[in-house]
Amino acid sequence: MDKLLTLTLGGLTSGAVYAALGLSLVIIFRATRVVNFAQPALALISAYVAFSVNKATGGYWLGFAAALLTGALLGALTERLIMRRLADRGHLAPVIVTLGLLMVLQAVAGMIWSAEPRSFPYAFDFRGTFSPAAGFAVAVVLVVAAGVLVLFKATPLGLRMRAAAFRPDVAGLLGVRVGLMLTIGWTLAAAVGALAGLLAVPPFIYPTALDSVFVHALAAAVIGGLDNPVGTIAGGFALGVGLSFVSGYVGPELVTMAALAILVAVLVVRPHGLFGHAVARRV
Amino acid sequence: MRLLRRRLGPLAGTLAAVLLASACAGAGSTPTGGADKADSAPGVTDDKVVIGTHQPLTGPAAPGYSTISAGARAMYSYINDKGGIHGRKIDYRVEDDGYNPTRTVEVVKKLVLQDEVFAIVGGLGTPTHSKVVDFLNSERVPDLLVASGALRWDDVAKSPTTFGFQVDYTREGKILGSHIRNNLGGQKVGVLHQNDDVGRDGMKGLDQFIADAVVSRQPYDPANTDVLPQITALKNAGAQVVVCECVPAFTALAILTSARLGYKPQFVVSSIGADPRTLAGLLADFAKRGGTEVSAGALLGGLIGAGYLPDAAADDPWITLFKEVHQKYIPTVPLTNTVVYGMAQAYTFAQALKEAGHDVTRQKIIDTMTSGALKGPGLTPFAFGPDSHSGYTGAYIFKVNPDTSTTMIAAPVVTDRENGPIKPAPTTRKTPTEIALVR
Amino acid sequence: MAADTVIAPAPPAPVTSRAGLSPLARHLLLAVLALAAIVLLSMVVDPFTNVRLATVGYYLLAVAGLTVLTGLTGQVSLGHGAFMFVGAYTVALLVVYVPALPFWVDLLLAAVASGLAGALTGAAAARLTGPYLAGATLALAVGLPSVTQRFPDFLGGSNGLGFTVNSMPAGLAGTVPSTRWQAWVVWAVVLAALVLLANLTRGRVGRRLRAVRDDEVSAALAGIHVGRMKVFAFLVSAVCAGLAGGLQAFLLGTAAPGSFTPALSLSLLAAMVLGGVGSLWGALWGALALVFLQAGSEELTHALALGTDVSNNLPLAIYGLVLIGVVLAFPQGIHGIGRTLRTRLRPRRTPARTSADDEGEA
């Protein structure tokens, strides 16, 4: 029983991270129909900024804030400088460009902070079966997810963002500044991604620290439905717990295989994820 | 489709005929060897010796290993600035293979075929380097001081030009196992091991001494940094001693995860994962938000580890030299045992190069390696001889103090990789002054 | 257009050669010419350049398979490294455990095994679109190689398998350097596969696949079995990748999980887009870029004498920047640079050409 409990709670903690990074993917996907492969690198750079601020000032929360700001800024810059030029270029070009950005940013991280792993603190004490640090991770992810949901469903800004995403032409005619909405979407998503990074990197940060987290986050988003924030959050937690069980009861080498199996099982039954919606056929 | 197949039949036949005619012998049968090119010296000119290595400088394995070549390069710079070996500067070419065996084969072929290096020195990693051993031996390229503790580098008949460096995982496992039986006898032992030959070869040695004390064996996968399930299993099995056949990052993860579960076993760590300075760096930042119980000193204090090179903080003539080189060439890189490893490896190669004489050839440096003349910075001797290409033959045991300094608790011992006894290491060690490699 | 469908390192094949020749004969002729050119080239360059030449060959085949999938059916796979994994391990296992089999049988079985894997993947993926397919195939690339950890005794665990493939006929041993021989074998296989691929995509099957890509519903109404066509495309594409993996195992004598990371799959995809999607010429440019961009940036880095951390990471940064730059500046990839530039210089005069070019795609 002790083992079951430990594995469940451990899985929930990693699941919170998958959910948060998955949420950042969903926000961008809803806005632009792009899967942002550069997301782990944006989060990585943000976390490294937190690392440097921590080192310089000795405080955790200043670094935390700096990371969120960095994430937001990087997101806005990515949209303005790069992604905007790719409008109407199909679904492949954004994949490749964000992959290129991933390489560049990981290389930059290696250049500035070296490939060696560095110690990166948790927000709170990490000891205990369900530690304050784990509790913080789960809580903050749930709060942010709720916030994003309220923003989308219940605020004028959210309404404008949805309009800009689904019918940019009509939204433009109605006076919505479509370009600005896209920038806001990327900024918000990258800030959420930075938060995911801050929760994911402890205890060690190194340039490839978020790669496997990203694969699991993408899996979570695909399982939940890429256009559905609630589904993605649920997918993230479910995947975290599921993989923790596989690792604990079957073997750690099977974790990636299990992720594949879960993904295939879900997609065979529901090709657009558990909670996703099929996009109407383009005519 | 039917139409297509009919039209393409003859075509497929024509092009496949090229292959058919070409290869009728079994693909796995042994090819005949090439000409003997050993008695030459490619890469050696009047003022230069070109050598190469493959290291993971980027990618998933770079953390932990990328400073080895920095240490080696610093040592070569030091030697070159002092006039080189026999008037020749050592041109050290580091190729990044990202720990990807495909890349390893590519970059080693580049080094050998295009850069025409004299030797490959300190190629890093078992999955990577094992794929180039046959190539290097068929080309008769000296393949010296491989940076891995796998057993396969010591195969004189099949790989006459390949030589190991660090103590192999089985020898070290025996020494750790014997230490546990003699000093921690009667306690339940758990093993956390990497799921490759680091773990498998290591357990072969451990089990000669403590097989019946082991209550749980937990493998970890280097790609999966969540070791909570494994540590939970070790805790539930009641292991009082945890042997960690791990790389440094996973030693640190195991220690942190144990702290997370309130589990306090006696950690016993093999040399590859026991560098106290690397570990202290990894564990530096948790006290501020987790309390002093999780300071690096508190987490590491009492940890037992193995080593074969002098500790980077030890009072040792070699460390004096290494500190001087470090200060002069790479002051910004922390002086860890990993950096010491790179420096010791470079020094050992330079020493072999000097012993091989002014008119060095590939065969001569191999003869020098097997001559037994090399007395390097290590605290145990090399096994190098006509019948063995193993590197260091043993290890000492140390304990980490609460201030993360170390104290040797068991003097260096040597053993073999089979069932032979463990004996005290000979005390004759040479100092850098005695070797007088450079002026 | 003929030049779009068959690869030759020499100048583009003259269009006049189509007179009187069936496409098949033309492709075959071009392949033989290309092989002759490769053989000549392999004689004048040094041994290591021969290794690189062979490397370009197998990457070309893998990228060509991918471009057929994406160009013809619109499906994007982020997991083709997994099929290379299947091909490489098939060859490796046969060489190690059934050493009596000749190499060409090993390769054929690698094609069969990867085709099987491709058909299975295709069947599972037939209903998936866009990012869902991307996510599933990426999970395949991440997940499949870990099977080696589950069966460490048979598949070698994380060390994988190392071996030497003996393919040289007894008569040639000693007269032809092994790297040159390897380049010939790789390119002979690659060109044979490309001829098949070019004919396949230009014929009835190709038209059906394009119909599926353009409009699944209309294609179904026209009597095309949409699901079956998609599975078929995946199968063909996986066979190409599997052969490429088998050739890689042959060339480098290694099959290990560390070689088949998601980074491999993603770089194949990147090479395809870099070269130009949907065209076999584009696959060649992509494969060349994959091999020589990295080599060039590493040499540049060695020459610059920068700090360790900077120089370690510079090649990665350069590759990323080139990727972004080319995709932003040249929507058609390297293969379309000329066309893009022409369009830019004379924006109003060229649209009539594009339809003719489209016809020759893939």
Summarised one tens digit per residue, pLDDT across range A108-162 is 999 999 888 999 999 998 888 889 999 999 999 999 999 999 998 899 998 898 8
C17 pLDDT higher than 70: no
Chain A residue with CA closest to B222: the answer is: A253
Q: Quick one: pLDDT at residue C52?
A: 94
Assess if CATH 3.30.428.10 describes domain B48-167+315-392: no
Could you say which of A110, A215, A263 has the minimum Cβ distance to residue C313?
A110
Q: Do the domain assignments include residue A280?
A: no
Mean per-residue pLDDT for B397-423? Answer: 93
C359 pLDDT higher than 70: no
Mutation target among A5, A13, A116 for the B interface, most CBs of B within 10 A: A116
Reported as a single tens digit per residue, the pLDDT across B218-238 is 999 888 888 999 999 999 999
Q: How many CA atoms lie within 13 A of A241 on its CB side?
A: 11
Mutation target among B104, B131, B132 for the C interface, most CBs of C within 10 A: B131
Q: What radius of gyration, in Å, describes the C-alpha atoms of chain A? A: 19
Could you say which of C139, C147, C313 has the minimum Cβ distance to residue A107?
C313
Task: Enumerate the H helices of A114-210 as residue ranges.
Answer: 132-154, 156-166, 168-173, 178-200
- Chains with 3 or more CB pairs closer than 8 angstroms to B? A, C
Q: Quick one: pLDDT at residue B430?
A: 87
Mean per-residue pLDDT for A182-190? Answer: 94
pLDDT-based confidence at residue C354 (cuts at 50, 70, 90): very low
Domain that holds residue C96: 2-359
Chain A residue with CA closest to C149: the answer is: A253
Mean per-residue pLDDT for A79-99? Answer: 89
Reported as a single tens digit per residue, the pLDDT across A203-219 is 999 999 999 999 999 99
Q: Quick one: pLDDT at residue B56?
A: 92
The mean pLDDT value of chain B amounts to 88
Q: Do the domain assignments include residue A70?
A: yes
Q: Quick one: pLDDT at residue C362?
A: 36
C305 φψ region: left (φ > 0), alpha (ψ -120 to 50), beta (else)? left
Domain that holds residue A75: 2-269
Q: Do the domain assignments include residue A278?
A: no
First-residue to last-residue Cα distance in chain A: 55
Q: Quick one: pLDDT at residue A252?
A: 86
Does B106 contact C55 at a Cβ distance shorter than 8 Å?
yes
Q: Do the domain assignments include residue A276?
A: no
Q: Quick one: pLDDT at residue C238?
A: 97
Q: Do the domain assignments include residue A279?
A: no
Reported as a single tens digit per residue, the pLDDT across C257-307 is 989 998 899 999 999 999 998 889 999 999 999 999 888 888 888 888 777
Number of structural domains in chain A? 1
pLDDT-based confidence at residue C350 (cuts at 50, 70, 90): very low
Reported as a single tens digit per residue, the pLDDT across C105-130 is 999 999 999 999 999 999 988 888 88
Mean per-residue pLDDT for A53-67? Answer: 92
Q: Do residues B199 and B234 make contact, with C-beta atoms less than 8 angstroms apart? A: no
- CATH, domain range B170-307: 3.40.50.2300
C3 pLDDT higher than 70: no
Does A252 contact B260 at a Cβ distance shorter than 8 Å?
no
C9 pLDDT higher than 60: no
Min Cα separation A184/chain C (Å): 22
Number of structural domains in chain C? 1
Model-level ipTM above the cut of 0.95: no
Q: Do residues C265 and C79 make contact, with C-beta atoms less than 8 angstroms apart? A: yes
Min Cα separation B329/chain C (Å): 12
Query: With a CB-CB cutoff of 8 Å, which residues 149-168 of chain C face chain B?
Result: 149, 152, 157-160, 162-168
Mean per-residue pLDDT for A21-43? Answer: 93
Mean per-residue pLDDT for C166-180? Answer: 81
Residue linked to tokens 């120089």: C311
Q: Quick one: pLDDT at residue A27?
A: 93
Could you say which of A110, A121, A244 has the minimum Cβ distance to residue B286?
A121
Does C270 contact A259 at a Cβ distance shorter than 8 Å?
no
C323 pLDDT higher than 70: yes
Min Cα separation A159/chain B (Å): 40
Q: Do residues B178 and B397 make contact, with C-beta atoms less than 8 angstroms apart? A: no
Chain C residue with CA closest to B219: the answer is: C149
Does B224 contact A252 at a Cβ distance shorter than 8 Å?
yes
Query: With a CB-CB cutoff of 8 Å, which residues 154-173 of chain B face chain C?
Result: none
Burial class, B60, CB count within 10 angstroms (exposed 0-12 / middle 13-18 / buried 19+): buried
Whether B31 and chain C come into contact, CB under 8 Å, resolves to yes
Could you say which of A120, A127, A206 has the minimum Cβ distance to residue B262?
A127
Q: Quick one: pLDDT at residue B300?
A: 93
Mean per-residue pLDDT for A55-71? Answer: 93
Nearest in space to B162 (alpha carbons), one of B140, B177, B195, B178 = B140
Whether B17 and chain C come into contact, CB under 8 Å, resolves to no
Q: Do the domain assignments include residue A50?
A: yes
Alpha-carbon span A17 to B230, nearest angstrom: 21
Q: Where are the domains of chain B?
A: 48-167+315-392, 170-307
Does B63 contact A206 at a Cβ distance shorter than 8 Å?
yes
Q: Quick one: pLDDT at residue B421?
A: 93
Alpha-carbon span A187 to A157, nearest angstrom: 14
Q: Quick one: pLDDT at residue B422?
A: 94
Min Cα separation A28/chain B (Å): 27
Does B228 contact A10 at a Cβ distance shorter than 8 Å?
yes
Which range has the worst mean pLDDT, B112-126, B143-157, C288-302? C288-302
Alpha-carbon span A129 to A142, nearest angstrom: 20
Q: Do the domain assignments include residue A122?
A: yes
Interface of B with A (CB under 8 A): 57-60, 62-64, 66-67, 195, 219-221, 223-230, 232-233, 236, 249, 252-253, 256, 259-262, 281-286, 288-291, 294
Nearest in space to B369 (alpha carbons), one of B386, B357, B381 = B386
Domain CATH code at residue A172: 1.10.3470
Alpha-carbon span C100 to C110, nearest angstrom: 16
Does A58 contact B288 at a Cβ distance shorter than 8 Å?
yes
Q: Do residues C272 and C163 make contact, with C-beta atoms less than 8 angstroms apart? A: no
pLDDT-based confidence at residue C348 (cuts at 50, 70, 90): low
Mean per-residue pLDDT for B376-382? Answer: 91
Does A101 contact C320 at a Cβ distance shorter than 8 Å?
yes
| Percent above pLDDT 90 for chain C | 49
Could you say which of C28, C99, C199 has the minimum Cβ distance to residue B29?
C99
C16 pLDDT higher than 50: no
Alpha-carbon span A75 to A186, nearest angstrom: 5
List of chain B residues whose C-beta atoms are within 8 Å of the C-beta of residue A114 = 66
Q: Do residues A119 and A203 make contact, with C-beta atoms less than 8 angstroms apart? A: yes
